[in-house]
């Protein structure tokens, strides 16, 4: 049994304008009028609207960034530091998303440095891992995922400051998901690695599943052992869909 607090997190990726506030407001309404969900709720909008989201978000909805630089400040045109995210009102930051690993050539070692910067700024780091379809087909899923976990968590990271998100690359934005058995196998392997590294505290680190989570499959995926929530892309953009995923953590 894990003792991890569950989280449903939305990664808006490169989507969202000022007008998207209406989705934040709608979600806030749904969370206050609906029955209490037994999970944390996080939205990670693009940098441009983090500060305004954080300023108006009810405390029930946490706000996070989608990436950060390894340095606190300096000559890094176009980059954003973890300190800046914290200063804007963010409490969390995603690091090592597969789109960053693929589009920006980010290695697990760089991801660990970003996570370290996040922790130094007082943010919780959501560290993403996941295999490509070719890696799964070659039977290398566990090797790939476990080596990403080992190398992407900074050496000095406290267990209560990190969250792991398992996102099979081939399931992102495709409408395809692994079987619940496959999800259980990977999450159990990650849990084992976390317990090896942190002993008892490793069982309280949330392990999120991400990749085509929708209201229709959320309960089934969230019901898998060692799945402590979801990292949601497309379905987090509309409050009603995101709320439908949060339903997995409501009893009524």
Among 81, 212, 228, 243, binds ligand 13P (CB under 6 A): 212
- From residue 218 to residue 247, the character string flagging contacts with ligand 13P as x (rule: CB under 6 A) and all else as - is -------------xxxxx------------
Q: Residue 30's closest CA among 243, 246, 249, 252?
A: 243
Known catalytic membership, residue 97: yes
Question: Does 167 help bind ligand 13P (rule: CB under 6 A)?
Answer: yes
* SS3 category, 214: coil
Q: Which stretch binds ligand 13P (CB under 6 A): 15-23, 56-64, 139-147, 206-214?
A: 206-214
Please check whether residue 245 is in contact with residue 232, taking contact to mean a CB–CB distance below 8 angstroms: yes
Residue 97 interacts with ligand 13P (CB under 6 A): yes or no: yes
> Does the protein bind ligand 13P through residue 172 (CB under 6 A)?
yes
Non-local CB neighbours of 21 within 8 Å, separated by 6+ positions:
49, 52, 53, 56
Shortest approach of ligand 13P to residue 84 CB, angstroms? Answer: 21
167: annotated active-site residue: yes
Could you tell me if 47 and 79 are in contact, meaning their C-beta atoms sit under 8 angstroms apart? no
Q: How far apart, in whole angstroms, are the C-alpha atoms of residue 109 and residue 88?
A: 26
11 touches ligand 13P (CB under 6 A): yes
CB 113 within 8 A of CB 70: yes
Least distance in angstroms from the C-beta of 91 to ligand 13P: 17
CB of 173 to ligand 13P, least distance (A): 4
185 and 229 Cβ atoms separated by less than 8 Å: no
Q: How far apart are CA 108 and CA 67, in angstroms?
A: 14
- By the rule CB under 6 A, 152 interacts with ligand 13P: no
The one catalytic residue in 97, 99, 131, 187 is 97
Count of residues that interact with ligand 13P, criterion CB under 6 A: 14
Our CB check for ligand 13P shows the closer of 206 and 235 to be: 235
Which residue(s) pair with 126 in the sheet?
Answer: 94, 163
Tokens for 134, please give them.
Answer: 């070719």
CB atoms within 10 A of CB 90: 29
Phi and psi for 164 in degrees, rounded to 5? -105, 140
In angstroms, give the least distance from the CB of 165 to ligand 13P.
7
Q: Which one of 118, 157, 163, 213 is in contact with ligand 13P (CB under 6 A)?
A: 213
Within 10 angstroms of residue 40's Cβ, the number of other Cβ atoms is 20
173 binds ligand 13P (CB under 6 A): yes
When binding is defined by CB under 6 A, the residue of 210, 218, 245, 247 that contacts ligand 13P is 210
Q: Which positions lie near ligand 13P, rule CB under 6 A?
A: 11, 97, 167, 172-173, 210-213, 231-235
Question: Could you list the active site residues?
Answer: 97, 167
């Amino acid at each position: 049994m894990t003792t991890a607090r569950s989280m449903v997190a939305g990664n808006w990726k490169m989507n969202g304008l000022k007008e998207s506030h209406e989705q934040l407001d709608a979600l806030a309404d749904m969370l206050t009028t609906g029955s209490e969900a037994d999970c944390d709720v996080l939205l990670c909008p693009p940098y441009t609207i983090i500060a305004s989201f954080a300023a108006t978000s009810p405390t029930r909805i946490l706000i996070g960034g989608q990436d950060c630089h390894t340095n606190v400040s300096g000559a890094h045109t176009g980059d954003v530091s973890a300190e800046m995210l914290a200063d804007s009102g963010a409490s969390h930051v995603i690091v090592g998303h597969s789109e960053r690993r693929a589009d920006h050539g980010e290695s697990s070692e760089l991801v660990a440095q970003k996570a370290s910067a996040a922790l130094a700024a007082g943010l919780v780091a959501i560290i993403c891992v996941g295999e490509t379809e070719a890696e799964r087909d070659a039977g290398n899923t566990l090797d790939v995922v476990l080596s990403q976990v080992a190398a992407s968590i900074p050496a000095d990271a406290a267990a209560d400051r990190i969250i792991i998100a398992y996102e099979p690359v081939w399931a992102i934005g495709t409408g395809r998901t692994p079987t619940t058995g496959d999800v259980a196998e990977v999450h159990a392997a990650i849990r084992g690695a976390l317990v090896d590294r942190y002993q008892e505290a490793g069982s309280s680190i949330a392990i999120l599943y991400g990749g085509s989570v929708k209201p229709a499959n959320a309960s089934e995926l969230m019901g898998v052992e060692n799945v402590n929530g979801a990292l949601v892309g497309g379905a987090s953009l509309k409050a009603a869909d995101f709320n439908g995923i949060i339903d997995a953590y409501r009893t009524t």
